[in-house]
Amino acid sequence: MTFGPVGIRCPDHASTGGRVAAPRRTARKAAASLSRRGPYVTQALIGINVGIYVVQLAMGAGLSASMGWIYEHGVLISSAIDSSGQLVGVAEGEWWRLLTAAFLHYGPIHLGLNMLVLWFIGPALEEYLGHGRYALLYVVSGLAGSAGALIVSSGAPTVGASGAIFGIMGAALFLEWRKIYVFGGQALGLVVFNLAISFVIPGISIGGHIGGLIGGGLAALAFLYLRRMPAVATLAVAAVGALSVALALSQA
């Protein structure tokens, strides 16, 4: 299966208690297991993203959802002046934008592409890690993606789940390197293809993609090598998120 780009910038503005599965777990086995218990976190994430966009439409944000209260208070930006003339942004202490931006999208195509990719690649990793670890990895990857976006281009308004989605790819790539084939050995090709698109198509958040990729890879490293100490592994992954926030704040 070939996936398209999973990130974009505004064109107008610029079971945590579960054991780790044995190596060589394939995507087919993951899908079979999920058919019994369901990819609840992936489904919830898609529901939240779609739900927020629907609320934006209902509030008159327009099809592109690049205006309105939710957008102005959630978009990732270092510093800017909003519609009321107030100075806003991460540099102004609005740290929550590092996370909220990952749940906003520029229109139905941007949203649809990201959610389609998340639906296809998320469940396999969710089955392997467990619901809790997968949710933590997703959030940490989103924070790392925001840090990367600010490091590369702090002045560009950025939204989208692409940082978190690239984190899923980064985790799968690291596991594949350790001979754990969550994506059936296709993680490397998936990452290379999407990174290539990031550099070719204008308006895509390159920093967000690379940041998310690194964050997800580091999270997978912690979960794998500290699997006999789950509490320590969770703290290590949380530390990756904290470091991402610190880097983002230093660049804002």
Q: Give which of 226, 44, 210, 36 is closest to 129, Cα–Cα.
A: 226
**Mean of the pLDDT values across residues 115-124?**
95
pLDDT band at 15 (very low <50, low <70, confident <90, very high): very low
**Mean of the pLDDT values across residues 103-115?**
95
Report all structural domains of the chain as residue ranges with CATH numbers, in order of start.
21-251 (1.20.1540.10)
pLDDT band at 4 (very low <50, low <70, confident <90, very high): very low
What pLDDT, on a 0 to 100 scale, did the predictor assign at position 202? Answer: 80
Greatest mean pLDDT among 12-16, 171-175, 194-198: 171-175
Task: Compute the radius of gyration of the chain from its Cα atoms.
Answer: 17
**Structure confidence by residue, pLDDT tens digits, 151-167:** 998 889 999 999 999 99
Q: Give the Cα separation of 106 and 96 in Å (integer).
A: 19
Catalytic annotation, residues: 162, 209
The 3-state DSSP class for residue 202 equals coil
What pLDDT, on a 0 to 100 scale, did the predictor assign at position 12? Answer: 37
**Structure confidence by residue, pLDDT tens digits, 204-222:** 899 999 999 999 999 999 9
